[in-house]
Structure 1
Amino acid sequence: MSFTYPEVGATRDGEPLPDGYDHVRVRERIGHGRAAFTAVVEGVVMFDLHRSIGLRVATSQPRAAVGVRVTSTLGVGPVGLRIPCEVVWVLDEDRRGGYAYGTLAGHPERGEESFVAELDDHDDLWFTVTAFSRAAAWYARLGGPLTRAAQAVATRRYVTAARRLAARASHG
């Protein structure tokens, strides 16, 4: 199975996002210190961030690595929207960590999304979600503004979940 878009890796390192897509870039301070950073990075690369916002997540490996398949399911019980992706890059540095995944056939969108935690020079913890996407499935195209609104809600939930992970580590 191959990616459904040609600009694989375009969310890495703040590069300009490709034209022809809707863009999302949210960066917020979510905590402070090494313990919070470690907790958030672990939550991201172990896919706990996604589980914490209510997605069911199946992966080909338990930890994010290039080539790992990630299928999230949104819905209840046997009824759900399958969202297949593959990890395209991983960031594992002393003060930055996270990954990006890109869409595979069957995903309602085409594009890429990254989740990165970063400790700045003052040990403030920043979390960034970056994405570019456009509708692939008929129902995503039909949804128009509702599809964009759903993505905005998911982005907010990711940031809130990362903030919770950081807070737990700071107070735990």
Structure 2
Amino acid sequence: MPSKPVADPFNYAEVGATSGEFPSGYHHFRLRRRIGAGRALFEEAGGAILGYRMQRGTGIFREASTPVAEAGTRLTVRLGVGPFGITAPCQVVYVLDEPNRRGFAYGTLPGHPERGEELFAVEFDPADESVYGVVAAFSRPGTWYTRLGGPVVRLIQHYIAGKYIDAIRPAQA
């Protein structure tokens, strides 16, 4: 069970919805990839996610108000390329700390070009000890330029989600 969602000035109403059924009216996205096997890998990847390694691994991480994710942590990511980049504010909504799931979700704050929430997690399947990286989100444009970018924004989201998971994959994989 995720920690209790934190209410704050998010720029969308469905705070915490990545922990259940995604709300209508948003683009839904889920990516789940096997990164290896074993409880040790699960523990290592879970710690890496909570330490923002997914965001750091893609080069978009800028700063966070806590060294590891916890409900209420404010963080910023930099989206875009060169002079076309923008700093996007987010806040951790909840942290997952379950026997077979670990990670966190953050929601967008005013000033972010999207509206919605994204989950970054690792899952352990005790049946065969497989470990999976998971990125799931619901979002919709929050600015004119993300509305205009439509399908291109979705392609970039899918590409970055793969990079997030690659960032927690063991070096030998």
- Please report the TM-score for the alignment, with normalisation by the length of structure 1: 0.88
Structure 1 residue runs of 5 or longer lacking an equivalent are none
Q: 1:50 aligns with which of 36, 46, 55?
A: 55
**Do 2:54 and 2:165's aligned partners in 1 also have CA atoms closer than 8 Å?**
no
Change (3 A) 1:34 1:107: same
Deviations along 1:78-104, one digit per CA (max 9) or x if unpaired, are: 763111110001011232100000000
Aligned partner of 1:142 among 125, 148, 158: 148
Whole-angstrom CA distance in 1 between matches of 2:165 and 2:86: 22
Contact in 2 for aligned 1:73/1:83 (Cα 8 Å)? yes
The aligned counterpart of 2:4 is: none
**What percent of counterpart residues are identical?**
47
Q: Extract unaligned runs of 5+ from structure 2.
A: 1-7
Cα RMSD of the aligned pairs, angstroms, is 1.7
Is the CA contact 1:46–1:62 (under 8 Å) kept in the aligned structure 2?
yes
The equivalent position to 2:17 in structure 1, one of 10, 17, 20, is: 10
Q: 2:139 aligns with which of 125, 133, 137?
A: 133
Tell me how far apart the structure 1 counterparts of residues 84 and 56 of structure 2 sit (CA, whole Å): 17
In the TM superposition, structure 1's runs of 4+ consecutive aligned residues that sit over 6 Å from their partners are 76-79
How many matched pairs? Answer: 164
The alpha carbon displacement at 1:16 in A equals: 2.0
Q: Look up the equivalent residue of 1:130 and give its one-letter code.
A: A
Q: Is the 8 A contact 1:86 1:102 kept in 2?
A: yes
**Any residues of structure 2 matched to 1:33-44 within 5 Å, and which?**
33-44=38-49
SS of the residue corresponding to residue 105 of structure 1 reads coil
1:118 to 123, 127, 142: 123
Structure 1 residue 77 displacement after superposition: 6.9
What is the CA distance between 1:142 and its match in structure 2? Answer: 1.2
Tell me the amino acid that sits aligned with residue 163 of structure 2.
R
TM-score normalised by L of structure 2: 0.88
